[in-house]
Amino acid sequence: MEFDVVIIGAGAAGLYALYRVRGLGLSAKVFEKGDGVGGTWYWNRYPGARCDVESWDYCYTFSEELELEWEWTERFPTQPELERYFNHVADRFDLRRDIEFDTRVDRARFDDDQNRWLISTSNGQTVSARFLISAAGCLSEVNTPRIEGAENFEGRQIHTARWPQGGIDLTGLQVGVIGTGSTGVQAIPQLAKQAEHLFVFQRTPQFGIPAQNRPLDDETLEELKHNYRERWEFKRASSTGMGRHPAEVPAALEVDEATRTQAFEASWARGGPGFARAFSDVMTNAQSNQIASQFVMDKIRGKVTDPAVADSLAAIDHPLGARRVIVEIDYFETYNRPNVTLVDVAADPITEITPQGLRTTAGSYDLDMIVYATGFDGMTGALLAMDIQGVGGLPLRDKWADGAGAYLGLVTSEFPNFFMITGPGSPAVYSNVIFSIEQHVDWITDCLAHMADHDLDRIDADPDAEAEWTRQVHEIAAQSIIGKTDSWWTGSNIEGKRQGITFYLGGTNTYREICDEIAANGYEGFVFSESTSPARA
């Protein structure tokens, strides 16, 4: 089978890419390893899963009708609501007929003579396409740490991103959770309500800001619909793709203590991921950050009745925002329940999993089930899980052995006609990702239209342009406190992975301007060649 475009994944990126590619009159096929659409929101169905970007921002903007007809029910949408949304989009735009479900892309090889990609899938097909677009996601390759003895455990072991449709009945079970990142923090309060006893194995305490979630009433929905174009302008102007009015705030060090506390209290009461924006310098000045960090740690302590547990949860050793800040609902209060035990595995590390449970250097825990809330191989995991080979059979794994890089995060040299949506080098995970996805898809499909108009058959990144862009990505990251501690952001959660921030921290607004300018200047830094191939559609 031959297509103009093959798209990997039917999450937010794959669905929109299919919609736009079709709009160019190109033939397309999407391969999706799950049996439904939604990507992250298809796979992550653990109890408590919800988005920590507000519903009115975490949605497509490409269709006015879609925006006006869809009604969000809460400030922060749950996984079931998001899954419904992506199913609605797939049906509304008649996307399913070009999606093949239960089909994983295992291998993609560029045929230099034909200028085509040969794509092999888990169900034994090989298809060819002029263009290959990865919409495989930044957080889709799960990370399950290898713990000695895990294979001998007699109970059930499950990663949060593989929670089954229909759920799991935890009644009467002794459950252990490893991991207290965004996922663990969302899952733990819900698991605690269901399990007989919940043991939380925490290695690194984390900052948690209350979501202050709420249902959306008719008046709010009406206002959201009324203002959606204005919000879109704000998203484009903002550095993270969020549609908030950018408030002018002073630096924390410019005001007195009482004013500071008042502003932090107000930000806390608003809730959500924007807590640090109470002042302009929390993310840039170590002293301001320390004051904000102390405020959050005191709040955490205030929520937990047992002082020793409160200490374990609040003894945070990294600056606020150096790891992705967590948005929580009833997380810290959950430790006041008699059926929840916090186990500090930084002090007493996990040594092994036994047939009956889990052992640390301090004791043993009998468990019926172990939940791995241990995250993902971020940014590059899903790309490198496939065997992607560029010019001359060069494996992407080899090309990126010393660190991942792509020109604008879109194209990596020696892999012609291969586009990555939210690839390494783009703002990706440090932005309202669905808005970044739209920007990437629009840019890519405009580029495909440009190639068709100019009878161009092949696009590649100039290696020098790519190296210079990657240098800038690293340079900007080096100036930020983001990533100044180990986490999946730096790749340190994956054994043997090259460490460092691979996403662009210069702001989504600046990034968009750069991408647009490069396109307007004839796609500077990209190398095109004219149609020579007999296979050209």
Beta-bridge partner residues of 92? none
Q: Does the protein bind ligand N01 through residue 272 (CB under 6 A)?
A: no
Shortest separation between residue 53's beta carbon and ligand N01, angstroms:
6
Q: Interface residues for ligand N01 in 432-451 (CB under 6 A)?
A: none
Q: Give the binding range for ligand N01 (CB under 6 A) out of 109-117, 196-204, 358-366, 412-420.
A: 196-204
Looking at the Cβ atoms of 274 and 463, the one nearer to ligand N01 is 274
Q: Give the binding range for ligand N01 (CB under 6 A) out of 175-183, 245-253, 398-406, 459-467.
A: 175-183
Q: Give the binding range for ligand N01 (CB under 6 A) out of 245-253, 310-318, 330-338, 369-377.
A: 369-377
Shortest separation between residue 277's beta carbon and ligand N01, angstroms:
18
Which ranges of 304-454 does DSSP label H, i.e. alpha helix?
Answer: 307-314, 381-385, 396-399, 433-453
Shortest separation between residue 386's beta carbon and ligand N01, angstroms:
21
Other beta carbons less than 10 A from residue 296's beta carbon:
20
Structure tokens at 295: 């405020």
Identity of the amino acid at 372:
Y
How far is the C-alpha of 124 from the C-alpha of 150, rounded, in Å?
A: 32
Shortest separation between residue 423's beta carbon and ligand N01, angstroms:
16
> Which residue in 345, 371, 451, 473 binds ligand N01 (CB under 6 A)?
345
Q: Does the protein bind ligand N01 through residue 377 (CB under 6 A)?
A: no
User: Cα–Cα distances in Å, from 166 out to 84, 169, 171, 370?
Assistant: 15, 9, 15, 18
Shortest separation between residue 280's beta carbon and ligand N01, angstroms:
24
Shortest separation between residue 240's beta carbon and ligand N01, angstroms:
13
Looking at the Cβ atoms of 238 and 493, the one nearer to ligand N01 is 493
Q: Does the protein bind ligand N01 through residue 350 (CB under 6 A)?
A: yes
Shortest separation between residue 458's beta carbon and ligand N01, angstroms:
35
Write the binding mask 197 to 236 for ligand N01: x where contact by CB under 6 A, - elsewhere: ----x-xx--------------------------------
Residue in the structure block whose two tokens are 């290696």: 463
How far is the C-alpha of 497 from the C-alpha of 480, rounded, in Å?
A: 21
> Which residue in 11, 14, 39, 179 binds ligand N01 (CB under 6 A)?
179
Shortest separation between residue 51's beta carbon and ligand N01, angstroms:
4
Spatial contact of 412 and 442, defined as CB atoms under 8 Å apart: no
Tell me the three state secondary structure of residue 407.
strand
Q: List all residues 6 or more positions away from 30 whose beta carbon is below 8 Å from its beta carbon.
A: 6, 7, 8, 9, 10, 14, 17, 18, 95, 98, 99, 100, 135
- Degrees, nearest 5: CA angle 159-164-168: 90
Query: Euclidean distance between the first and final Cα of the chain, in Å?
Result: 13
Q: Interface residues for ligand N01 in 39-58 (CB under 6 A)?
A: 50-52
Q: Interface residues for ligand N01 in 400-439 (CB under 6 A)?
A: 429
Q: List all residues 6 or more positions away from 294 whose beta carbon is below 8 Å from its beta carbon.
A: none
Looking at the Cβ atoms of 108 and 343, the one nearer to ligand N01 is 343
Segment (H or E) for 17: helix 12-23
Write the binding mask 302 to 341 for ligand N01: x where contact by CB under 6 A, - elsewhere: ----------------------x-----------------
Q: What is the 3-state secondary structure (H, E, C) of 116-154?
A: EEEEEECCCCEEEEEEEEECCCCCCCECCCCCCCHHHCC
Count of residues engaged in binding ligand N01, rule: CB under 6 A? 26
> Which residue in 375, 381, 405, 423 binds ligand N01 (CB under 6 A)?
375
Rg over CA atoms, the chain: 24
- Degrees, nearest 5: CA angle 463-466-468: 110
Q: Interface residues for ligand N01 in 101-140 (CB under 6 A)?
A: 139
Rule CB under 6 A: which residues touch ligand N01?
A: 50-52, 139, 145, 178-184, 186, 201, 203-204, 324, 345, 350, 373-376, 429, 488, 493
